[in-house]
Structure 1
Amino acid sequence: MYAVLGAANIYVTSMKLTTTIAITTAMLLLYGTTTNAQDLTRKYRAVGPEVVEDVVDTVRRSCVLPLDNLLLRRLAYVESRDGTDSHTFRSGFFGGIWQVTQTMYDQTKASSYLQQMRAEILSHLMIEWQSTSWQDLQKPLYSGLAAALYIEDTLRTKPHPVGIAAQQNYWAQVYHQGSLPAESFASLAELMESGCHGQADLDIGFVLDTSSSISHQDFEDAKKFIINTTSFFDIDSGLVRVALITYADVARIRVNWDQSRSQVSLDNMISALNYESGGTETAKALNLASQLFANARRNAVKVLVFITDGKSHDAIDTASAATQLQRSVDGGLLLLSVGVGDQVDPNELHSIASDPACKHTFQVASYDQIDAIREEIQRMTCRAPLAVHVNETVWCQLGQCPPYVVMIPPHTTVMVQASTTCINGVKLYSSSTVPYPGSSHYDSSLILLPHAGFSIFNPPPATSRPAHYYVNTDQTVVPSVMHCNVTLSVFLNEVRVVCIDGGRQRSCTTTDVFNFERATGSHLCP
């Protein structure tokens, strides 16, 4: 079974040979079942963890509630089990997954403090908040936005509560309008699934500022944070490698990729590091990080956590070095910047972080509080995509597939070719706007069948700026067959001739080409 979709396709089928010849300039060639775009975050009474995750990610990317220490995510589960609780959509109540009461909702419209946030919602999400109704909160995105607005209005200049205990206090004293006891928040929040959904290859680096503005105890707290963060990942298997740079007047690689062969040895190396003070030469550290990631694995997800407590000596050099760092890995690096204390420059932190900076920049009051953001760092690292470039092929074993982001150069169109060895097929999701396409939100999806040739995604037309195209694999049901793989290849979108016979791709003959030219009136150059 095949389908050829797209206005630019020309195809012909020979009834005698049951052979299809297709010349493609901008096509989506699918074997199996295809599905049009879907966005459950805007659908009435859509529920489930994937829907909630998409809402939280959308709210963060729009910079409405960029970093809340998982509060919004936990509230969805505690209030309604991500909408699956039978009480969620009870008669006469329209607060949706986040169980926002009408009084809470009315506050989000009346508060002058939220004027800028409402403007951001209109700008990024095309939702005029003042024109919404409480009934609209039955749509997940609207319920999540209402909860985010309410959180911001009730906290205002106060920091977001960190950790389950502090968030439980906020929930019981401010947010929750029901009858559940306060301790219910902790018991329910801890039931939420944690950890990565299958560990992909990962190279994660840390850059740590050890300038004279930090104390020995601060240095110890920072080392403990790195140890606690990396303990979450499977280092012993070799899937995950860790590196560490420290910097003051000079930058030094203190742990290199090939040294982190086990969690125990990594912990020992980090614990044994000596404190070296000096100035804040941030640009030197970023330049050294460029060299470090030049030796990262090509097929590994790449993440860098940059930790500083002060302003660099030269902000212009720092911004330039951060840009060069991204270029050195062709944009395939998730860069998280962490500011500690009140001496950091927020603009500089944003210049270092990946886009959108509001989502990838963290600030904590002191080093003894830095461990509070560990869960956020781990969560973002788990979801970091693997960059795939033109003329590259990547593959993964189902259950260990990362999200993929196809890097499209300016003024260029590409094709993404996919195939699988999984006997039951694999479902793929793709999008040009959603970084983590999945069952609740995607531009297109398909069931990729084994041994039936390949499928081709086509991202949008070329633009004057670099573009991203996202492809994700459904790994909710991992087959029992071992070594079941998915392969993606990226090509420049040039004219390609594909001959398919009996559901299998084969070499085209001169007869095939002749029949094609006669049927279409076109001429193919040899």
Structure 2
Amino acid sequence: MKKYALLILVVLVNVDDTKSQTDFTRQENAKGEHVVQAVVDAIRSHCIFASDRLFLRRLALVQSNDGEDAKTYRDSYHGGIWQVDKEKYEQTRTCPGILEYVCENIKTRLRINWQRTTWRDLRKPLYSGMAASLFIMYTLTFVVDGSGSIGRDGFNTVRQFMIEVTNRLDIGPKMTQVAAVTFSHRALVEFYLNDHSTERSLNQAISEIEHPSITVFAIGVGNKINENELKVISSDPYCTHVFILRDFSEIETIINAIQKRACRGVDVSDPIKAFHQNPLDSTKFIKCDVEGNMYVIQCPSGEQYHQDRNKNPNTNAK
């Protein structure tokens, strides 16, 4: 009598796990940290906005607390988790300029034809995240450090970099738009996104961004001070902006000097172009030589002056 083996396969299905496979990134009004992270991962992994350096993630938190804000999905607004206004969305929908390739990438990798989307689609987290990414790529904003930490040479390098970057873009009302903001002790909008519609006009505006004038005094207290570091962070000339004290009891001795120099503080790194209310005050043009002595690099009269820092600053010798 033949014997047969009976093989029974038992398949266990975890109902909760199947639910977890739901793609909430394409579900209207979905929210939460896990949803936002899934959107960011999808966008980056498909090389749509691969170099956002966590900006998109932070933006979702700021705009709507990852969609947890009660106003995120209000009836009359469809900007979604990233709160993309209809006007901003419409600027991306036609895939102008540099967005043409990105939109093709979205269509190929995510099977979304961006030109056929509507603003209401942004209620789906993935669509809202993509709209934010496209708008960021379409509208380029330079935020430039105008503080004394980078100096005039560094600032000029930054301006040249801005020009080189924008020269590779298609500038125009329906193409790439550029804005610039400088900051030091406060933020200053140099020009807005719609201010310049041609490459020539934009380059001129970038060239005219001025390096803010900031006076930095570096004070070291004690006997273990690195004077070279103080010289690096202080304003020029360092011989009038660096102070080394034995202890805090000596602070009173420099307050008067700081007050006087701060009141007349100007950017002396390019004195020929600098404007001074009192051109007869030659100390506004002073620099330091390698030995720490002060000298005037450009006086209103065109003459060269030299003075030792240990002498009376009002006594100049040719």
Which TM-score applies when normalising by structure 1? Answer: 0.25
More strand by share: 1
More helix by share: 2
Higher relative contact order (CA 8 A, sep 6+): 1
Which TM-score applies when normalising by structure 2? Answer: 0.41
